[in-house]
Amino acid sequence: MSDYTFRFSKSEKRLVAVLIIIPMVLLFIGVYGGLMQTLFRAGIIQSDPFVGGDYYKGLTFHGVLNAIVFTTFFAVAFGNAIIPYSLKKNLNATIAWIAGILMLVGSVVAAIVILIGEATVLYTFYPPLKAHPLFYIGLTLLVVGSWVASANWVPMYLQWRKENEGKKTPLAVVGMFTTFIVWFIATLAVAVEILFMLLPWSLGWIDEINVMLARTLFWFFGHPLVYFWLLPAYVMYYVFMPKLAGGKLYSDMAGRLVFMMFIVFSVPVGTHHQYMDPAISSQWKLLHGIFTFAVALPSLITAFTIAASLEYAGKLKGSKGLFGWMGKLPYFKKENWFFAYLITGLIIFIFGGIGGIINASYQMNTVVHNTAWVPGHFHLTVAGPVMLAFLGGSLYLVAQFLNKEVRLKAWAMLSPYVYTIGLLIMSYGLKIGGLMGMPRRTNTGASYANPDSVLYQADWIPYIDLTVIGGSIMFVGIVMYIISFFTTVFSKSKGAEEDAIVTFPISEPLHDEPATWLRNFKPYIIIAIILIVLSYTPVIYDVLQATYGGSLPFSPDSPVPLR
C-alpha cells in the first residue's frame, strides 16, 4: 500500500498550493507580531515600527493569524491532499474552490480589520469588548468555508466504503475525518455565540449580552479547537513518521483507537478553562476535569506507539541496547528534512503534555491560571508540535503540488532545531515568570518591567529577558524556513505539469489487527453527543441562573460603554 502515486487534477493542485501559500504570508505577519511582543514585554519598544499601534493589536493578530487562520487552512489543505490520495478519488474541485475562497475572503477581511485597529479583542474575543462586525463576519466565513471543504470529502468516503466493503479505511482518512468531526461539533457552539450573540450585538441590533454565557460557549469551542490543531499533526506522526524513520507503524489499531477516543472526549472538557470563573458549580468543573484526564489517555498511547515505531526503525538499522535506537534516527539528514519537523515536535510535546496535565489539575490551576505560564504552555503545544508538523507538511505539500524540488534543504532541515531551542528558552521564561505571578496578555514593558514605574517587579526581569532571547531565536528559525519555502515556490518546476504525480510517505503497520469495533465513526459520535449533553447542560443551567443583567459593548480605549 505504500509508495503509490496519485494524479491530481490541475485545479486541485492549484487549490492546495493557494491554501498553503497565502496563509504562509499571513503566518509570517503573525510570527513578526510574536517577535514584537517579546520586545514590547521587555520594554525594548513602545510602538510597533511597521504596523504601528500597540502591544494588544499585535497580540490580536499574532493569535488570530497563527492559531486560527494558519491552522485551519493547513488542516483543510492537508485534507484536500491526503484524502483524495488515500481514497484514490478526485475532489469535486468546484466545491473545494468555493470553500477555499470563502476561507480566504474571511481571513483577509478579519486580518485587515485587526490591522487597522478595529478589533483589538485578542483571539478569544471575549465580550463585552466589542470588535467591528466585519471581524466576526470574517471569522464566520473562515469557519463556514472549512465546513464546506470537509463536507466535500463525505461523498468521496461513502463511495469508497461502498466500493471497498470489508476493507479498513486508510488511517490517514480516519484521522482527517476525526479532525473535522471534532471541529464541526466544536464550531457549532462558537457559531451560536457569534451569530446569535456577538454579531447582532456588535451591529447594534441587540443592546446587551450575557458575558458568562458567551464565554462558556467560547470554551465549548476553545478546547476541542486544540485537538483540531493537534489531530492533523497526529495523522503525520502515525502515517508519515514511521516510514520517514525507516520503519513501520508499531500498531495500526492503536492509531484507530486514539482517533476514536478524541471524538468521544474532545468536547466535554471546555470548563477546565473556566476553573476560576464564577457562576459554574465546582462539581461540574470537576466533571470536565475528569474528562480532561480521559482525553490525555490517547496522547499517552500515541507517545508509546510512536516511540515504539521509532525504536523498531532504529533496531532495523542495527541499534543495540535499550536506548541505542535513539541514536540511529535520521535527525540531521538533509534529504529527510521532513523527519526533523516531526521529531522536534514530539520532543517538545513531552513538556507540552506535562504542562497540560498540570493546567487540567483542578485546584492546581489556581497557581497558573492566566499567568504567563499559560502562553508558556501552549507555545509548547500549538506553537510546538502542531506548528512544526504544519510547517513541514506545508513545505512537503507545496513542493509536491507545484511539482518542484524542495530548495535549501539544509536550511529547511535545521530550521526546526533552531526554532525548538528558541521555543524551549522562551517557554521556560514565560513559565517561571508565570509561577512568580507574571500575568499573561500584558504589556509588561510599560509597567511591571519598567524601572520607572511604581509597579516595577525586579525579580521578573531575568525571565522576561529569556523570552526575548528565546523569541528572537524562534524568529531566526522561522526566517530560515520561510526562505526555503519561498525559494521552493519560486523555483523552476521539475518537467511538464501534466506528468506531475503526487506521493506521500505512507507507513505500513507492524501489528495490523482487524479491529472491527473501531471501523465505524457512528457509535463514537453518539457517545460524544451523550457526554456533551450530560456535561454541558448543568453548566449552561448554572450560568443562566447565577448571572444577572446584561452587558453593553465596550471599546478597549474607554471605560465608558459604547452606547
Partner 1 sequence: MDNSEKLALGLSGFLLVLFFGAIMYAAVAKDIDVPTCITDMDPFVTDTLFQTGPDTYELQMVARMWAFQPSTVRLPVGSTVDLYVTSQDIIHGFKVEQHNVNLMAIPGAINYMRVTFNKPGEFMYACHEFCGAAHHTMAGRFIIEERLDEPEIIGGTL
Q: Which of residues 349-388 bind partner 1 (CB under 8 A)?
A: 357, 361-367, 369-371
> Is residue 47 a contact residue for partner 1 (CB under 8 A)?
no
Q: From the list 90, 336, 491, 547, which residue makes contact with partner 1 (rule: CB under 8 A)?
A: 547
The DSSP annotation for 210-226 comes to -HHHHHHHHHHHHHHHH
* 249-251 and 502-503 strand pairing: unpaired
Which cell is 492 given?
A: 523552476
Q: Give the nearest distance from C-beta 62 to partner 1 in angstroms.
A: 13
Distance (Å, whole) CA 252 – CA 238: 9
Q: Give the nearest distance from C-beta 278 to partner 1 in angstroms.
A: 4
Give me the catalytic one of 132, 272, 288, 379: 379
Q: Is 563 a catalytic residue?
A: no
Q: Is 379 a catalytic residue?
A: yes
> Which range in 2-10, 148-156, 186-194, 437-445 contacts partner 1 by CB under 8 A?
437-445
**At 209, phi and psi to the nearest 5?**
-135, 160
Secondary structure (H, E, C), 342-379: HHHHHHHHHHHHHHHHHHHCHHHHHHHCCECHHHHHHC
Q: Reduce the DSSP state of residue 30 to 3 states and report it.
A: helix
Please report, as residue ranges, which positions from 305 to 334 form the binding site for partner 1 (by CB under 8 A).
305, 308
> Is residue 554 a contact residue for partner 1 (CB under 8 A)?
yes
Q: Is 275 a catalytic residue?
A: no
Which cell is 18 given?
A: 493557494
Give me the catalytic one of 125, 378, 390, 521: 378
Distance (Å, whole) CA 160 – CA 509: 21
When the beta carbons of 106 and 289 are compared against partner 1, the nearer one is 289
Q: Give the nearest distance from C-beta 559 to partner 1 in angstroms.
A: 4
When the beta carbons of 469 and 552 are compared against partner 1, the nearer one is 552
Q: From the list 452, 499, 545, 563, which residue makes contact with partner 1 (rule: CB under 8 A)?
A: 545
Secondary structure (H, E, C), 393-437: HHHHHHHHHCCCCCCCHHHHHHHHHHHHHHHHHHHHHHHHHHHCC
> Is residue 461 a contact residue for partner 1 (CB under 8 A)?
no
Residues 6+ apart with CB under 8 A from 562: 130, 552, 553, 554, 555
Q: From the list 52, 327, 439, 462, which residue makes contact with partner 1 (rule: CB under 8 A)?
A: 439
Tell me how many residues contact partner 1 (CB under 8 A): 80
Please report, as residue ranges, which positions from 256 to 315 form the binding site for partner 1 (by CB under 8 A).
274-283, 285-286, 289-290, 293-294, 296-297, 300-301, 304-305, 308
When the beta carbons of 472 and 547 are compared against partner 1, the nearer one is 547
Q: From the list 108, 112, 128, 147, which residue makes contact with partner 1 (rule: CB under 8 A)?
A: 128
Report CA-CA distances (Å) from 412 to 194, 339, 345, 387, 479.
Answer: 39, 11, 15, 14, 10
Q: Catalytic site residues?
A: 223, 227, 377-379, 440-441
